[in-house]
Structure 1
Amino acid sequence: MGQPALQKSKSPWLTISVLCLGQLMIVLDQNIVNVALPAVQRGIGFSSENLVWVVNAYVIPFGGLLLLAGRLGDLIGRKVVFLTGVGLFSLASLLCGFASSEATMILFRFIQGIGGAVASACILGMVATTFSEPRKVAQAIGAYSFASAGGGAVGPLLGGVLTDTLSWHWIFFINAPIGAVLILVGLGRIERDRGQGLSKGTDFLGAVLVTAGMTLLVYTIVDAEQAGWGSAQTLLLGLLSILLLVGFVVRQATAAQPLLPLGIFRSRSLTAANIVQFMMIAGMFGLLFFGTLYVQRVLGYSSLEAGLGFVPIAVVIAGISLGLSARLITKFGQRPMLFTGLVLIIAAFVMLSFARVDGTYVVDFLPASLFMGAGFGLAAPAMMGLGMSSVTPEESGIASGLFNTTQQVGGAIGLAVLSAVVSSRTDDLTAAGKAEPDALLGGYHAAFLLAAGFVLLALVIGAVMLAKKEPERRQPAGGPTDASESDLVTG
């Protein structure tokens, strides 16, 4: 049996800081690049049709490799996998900054996506097993939640600042010194975990099936807007990706040492948390993407002003995730905090659906963004805590990879669906004679209401699946054994 990662660390909060900084770096990179795309296009000479591959070349390997990377963490050690991923991500970032052609940029972004997947797949599992005391577990997961959500909110601002004051090259260069610090500190401060050994679960066929299936699925989703959702390419690739993933599930049910033990889904908490996250992130991408478009294309804000407009969300998420959520979870339990957070997110989307063409940031966007920040700050730590609390230390890597995969696929599918709705609604309103700002806003309103529906569905699913506590909690080694202490975690 492998030992819990980081359980014997002499400086656990420094370890948490290193892990969360790694998560923040990766999440920032996913959002910082979008703002700089026009500058990248001018600097390298990207064609308009190929520019999207600056994003897609990263997203596809990232989404496809998370499960495999998480399982490798369980087998060969999560510290080794995390630091290897950080090193590859940082090196690829440096190469992206020096890229001088379309081909080299796309290639280096692909490598960067591999590094990002390898680094991030194990982070949540390491964070969740650093402590055994419920209050500290909640605080650590709150810090991870802030790194994940705060990076998404701050990314557009940082991207605008770096691009405007320095150049687009620095949105990539900035990762190199951060990665170097993470590796140097991590080598000395993160405790080495032994892992179970490759002989305990080297399911090569399963690895090929899930990596090919997830990679192809993400590719099909991100390319569907250009190829068309009803095109032969989208339908055939979508069917093939589903067949590969079905083959993976069948393989896991029959393999002697499965890559993803299906028994892990016997936990209602883990299963419900992943479903809730899928629906919640599918909706949240609506705020990050279409909220930015609203303040820029309707209210007329610049890229930098739009980035500044998202700072309050990051501040609220930080205040709640880092300070308040652990105390509330300890006092009231994780399920009430999860449901409260989801209700606040739904309210935020409903508020955005009333945004006006002649509106103002303070009236039409800020209140909803504060509700959104508070909702995510409460929901995310509770959701992740519920999922990870029922996972053994030996499965924490694959569970962490599963959470990240759910997040990536949920975001990709959510954004694709919402984009299709916005496009259709905007076209209908334009054909009806509406002015461009009114037609755009009508499309955004439809997206915000659909996003609210996604999160409402997450709330209903969570309420049904988490109506009762787990009949038997799967304790991590060295974890709480007192029943009342366990109740603090599971709520």
Structure 2
Amino acid sequence: MTTVDADNPFAGGKAAPSGHVHQWRAFSLLAVAYFMTAADMLIVNVALPTIGRELHFAQADLQWVVTAYALTFGGFLLLGGRAADLLGRRRVFTAGLTLFTAASLACALATSGIFLVIMRGVQGLGAAMVLPAALSIVMNMFPEGAERNKALGLWGATGASGATVGVLAGGAITRYAGWPYIFYLNVIVGGAALLLTRRVVPESRLRIAQRRYDPIGAIAVTTALVIMVYGISQAPTAGWTATRTLALLATSAALLAAFVAIEARAQAPLLPLRLFRLSTLAGSNAVGFLLGAGFYGYIFIGTLYMQQVLGYSALNTGLAWLTVGLTGVALAGPAQVLVTRTSVTLVMAAGLTLTGAGILWATQAPAHGSFWADLAGPFFLTGAVTWIFIPVSIGALVGVTERDAGVASGLIDSSQQLGGAIGIAIASTVAATRTSGLRTQGHAIVGAFTGGFHTALWVCGLIALAGIPIALLLIRRTGITQATAVSQSQVQEPAPAD
């Protein structure tokens, strides 16, 4: 059962005709917040060399400016979704946006690398509250069917464009204003969104007898992933078979196993394992994880290649990535149409094929290449990532009842963000290991960097392509139809308390 604001007749899942304009007005504000959190995953990428010089970062530690955000973002998304369902989705959205905006201001004022990384982690925590609450509100405003598919299609396009447009904006801001203004922009946008939220966004929540949140589960999974990323990132220096590396990875595995055990026994689990009985949800989240790992790792490595090998400025690097965003925007409309007329599976598989092929094509870029001759083709092709983001967003929420809306929406975004954090760590580690090996063999620094980046891109491309069999095996039209029927039958039943 859902509580509804009297001022918002379209809240709670059934849209009144008179509220149609208000729905899309609310959607627009929520999409702006989503765009901001999505862009912040990679908006600092092109500024990393500048940040490293000014804050005295070691080269190997630069990835933490990105992964600190991604880890807390992904690690606490499920808790954010749970809190949104129980405390009120607009309330949690507002609290998260406030935290995100304040942390952005702190990032802009950072004078040390450690402080910046910590504040990026706090930013991620705020985003983990904003995103599932926002997507859960969208699900409750639009009834399941064509209109929700349209909204989720636009939502997926917003996420896909946020990553690439964020890179462009980061380059332009770094070039003309300085890297702190990347975060000052968040303060301006976040402040404006806060002023408008109560006026245009509806409130809704689950009404149950007791509220339980499972913070132990959130801490366990986030700690496990931080330790995993740290172990992977330190492996080139310590050695993959070193006692420290193996101990860190073993500790991470033990904590992940503990997380599963906690969720299986908890009265109100952060991640209800019963959700994975929906094969479409399970498959979409698996694809989402691989998408994050392959695509975000690709952008991270591609950015370093352009700046450290080709000598591009931050602005030129951002402009180069615009080609991916333009393709993504152009393909967003056809993706929505194809998902409705064909199937989520086919569009997703096509997107994975094109994106993976584009990443592998980028491995052919030479040490002294040029954008139009060597990078434009791969970049345009990987813009097809929109064809993964959109069906993944739809598939991960099909058949999910209002009771689990916040958890399911948090889960898919968590899968993508954590995949991104781990993918960046793996790609960075592979590149560093290969570069070190080539330098030992006597290769010049530019050639060694190029070889390291090529090897990392091979890994990213293969990770993306690994999602194809998962999509074909787990995400089927019959499964989507059955899940939708079950969801609609359960809408008439009161949701039991967890």
* Structure 1 length-normalised TM: 0.88
Choose the corresponding residue for 2:421, options 401, 412, 421. Answer: 412
Q: Which moved more, 1:58-67 or 1:299-308?
A: 58-67
Aligned to 1:398: 407
Aligned-pair distance for 1:21? 0.9
For the 8 Å contact 1:87–1:179, the answer to whether it is kept is yes
Distance of aligned partners of 1:434 and 1:106 in 2 relative to their CA distance in 1, 3 Å threshold? closer
User: How do 1:3-402 and structure 2 match up within 5 A?
Assistant: 7-8=14-15, 10=20, 11-41=22-52, 43=54, 53-102=64-113, 104-132=115-143, 134-197=145-208, 199-221=210-232, 229-321=240-332, 323-373=333-383, 375-402=384-411
- The residue matched to 2:327 in structure 1 has which SS? helix
For the 8 Å contact 1:59–1:218, the answer to whether it is kept is no
Q: Distance in 1 between matches of 2:63 and 2:298?
A: 20
The amino acid that maps onto 1:351 is W
Q: Distance in 1 between matches of 2:338 and 2:191?
A: 36
**Structure 1: stretches of 5+ with no match in the other structure:** 482-491
Distance of aligned partners of 1:42 and 1:29 in 2 relative to their CA distance in 1, 3 Å threshold? same
Q: Which moved more, 1:214-223 or 1:287-296?
A: 214-223
Distance of aligned partners of 1:212 and 1:297 in 2 relative to their CA distance in 1, 3 Å threshold? closer
Q: Distance in 1 between matches of 2:43 and 2:296?
A: 15
Number of residue pairs matched by the alignment? 479
For the 8 Å contact 1:6–1:193, the answer to whether it is kept is no
User: How do 1:422-433 and structure 2 match up within 5 A?
Assistant: 422-433=431-442
Q: Distance in 2 between matches of 1:227 and 1:128?
A: 47
Q: Which moved more, 1:194-203 or 1:459-468?
A: 194-203
Q: Distance in 1 between matches of 2:234 and 2:139?
A: 35
Q: Distance in 1 between matches of 2:193 and 2:240?
A: 41
Aligned to 2:8: none
CA-to-aligned-CA distance 1:168-193 (integer Å, 9 cap, x gap): 22111111121122122221111110
Q: Distance in 1 between matches of 2:489 and 2:369?
A: 52
CA-to-aligned-CA distance 1:233-291 (integer Å, 9 cap, x gap): 44333323322232222222223332221110000000001111112221112320222
Q: Which moved more, 1:200-209 or 1:242-251?
A: 200-209
Aligned to 2:494: none
Q: Distance in 2 between matches of 1:297 and 1:408?
A: 26
Distance of aligned partners of 1:148 and 1:165 in 2 relative to their CA distance in 1, 3 Å threshold? same
For the 8 Å contact 2:13–2:143, the answer to whether it is kept is no
The amino acid that maps onto 1:455 is A
* Structure 2 length-normalised TM: 0.87
Q: Distance in 1 between matches of 2:433 and 2:114?
A: 33
The amino acid that maps onto 1:330 is T
For the 8 Å contact 2:46–2:318, the answer to whether it is kept is no
Q: Distance in 1 between matches of 2:253 and 2:284?
A: 22
Aligned to 2:465: 456
The amino acid that maps onto 2:200 is R
Choose the corresponding residue for 2:475, options 466, 470, 473. Answer: 466
For the 8 Å contact 1:349–1:448, the answer to whether it is kept is yes
Q: Please tell me the root mean square deviation across aligned C-alpha atoms, in Å.
A: 2.9
1:421 aligns with 2:430: yes
For the 8 Å contact 1:209–1:244, the answer to whether it is kept is yes
Aligned-pair distance for 1:307? 0.8
Q: Distance in 2 between matches of 1:178 and 1:327?
A: 31
For the 8 Å contact 1:122–1:398, the answer to whether it is kept is no
Aligned to 1:488: none
Q: Distance in 2 between matches of 1:133 and 1:67?
A: 22
Distance of aligned partners of 1:210 and 1:196 in 2 relative to their CA distance in 1, 3 Å threshold? farther
Q: Distance in 2 between matches of 1:151 and 1:179?
A: 15
Q: Distance in 1 between matches of 2:67 and 2:298?
A: 20
The amino acid that maps onto 1:380 is F
Distance of aligned partners of 1:198 and 1:18 in 2 relative to their CA distance in 1, 3 Å threshold? farther
- The residue matched to 1:391 in structure 2 has which SS? coil
For the 8 Å contact 1:133–1:479, the answer to whether it is kept is no
Q: Distance in 1 between matches of 2:328 and 2:74?
A: 25
Distance of aligned partners of 1:49 and 1:380 in 2 relative to their CA distance in 1, 3 Å threshold? closer
- The residue matched to 1:122 in structure 2 has which SS? helix
Q: Distance in 2 between matches of 1:317 and 1:87?
A: 30
Q: Distance in 2 between matches of 1:234 and 1:198?
A: 46
Q: Which moved more, 1:385-394 or 1:204-213?
A: 204-213
- The residue matched to 2:482 in structure 1 has which SS? coil
- The residue matched to 2:43 in structure 1 has which SS? helix
Q: Distance in 2 between matches of 1:384 and 1:400?
A: 8
Distance of aligned partners of 1:107 and 1:435 in 2 relative to their CA distance in 1, 3 Å threshold? closer
The amino acid that maps onto 1:199 is Q
- The residue matched to 1:199 in structure 2 has which SS? coil
For the 8 Å contact 1:76–1:198, the answer to whether it is kept is no
Q: Distance in 2 between matches of 1:225 and 1:197?
A: 50
Choose the corresponding residue for 1:439, options 440, 448, 451. Answer: 448
For the 8 Å contact 1:217–1:241, the answer to whether it is kept is yes
Aligned-pair distance for 1:214? 4.3
For the 8 Å contact 2:79–2:214, the answer to whether it is kept is no
- The residue matched to 2:44 in structure 1 has which SS? helix
Q: Distance in 1 between matches of 2:29 and 2:233?
A: 31
Distance of aligned partners of 1:456 and 1:406 in 2 relative to their CA distance in 1, 3 Å threshold? same
For the 8 Å contact 1:196–1:394, the answer to whether it is kept is no
The amino acid that maps onto 1:183 is L
Q: Distance in 2 between matches of 1:224 and 1:125?
A: 39
Aligned to 1:485: none
Q: Distance in 2 between matches of 1:352 and 1:257?
A: 46
The amino acid that maps onto 1:454 is I
For the 8 Å contact 1:346–1:455, the answer to whether it is kept is yes
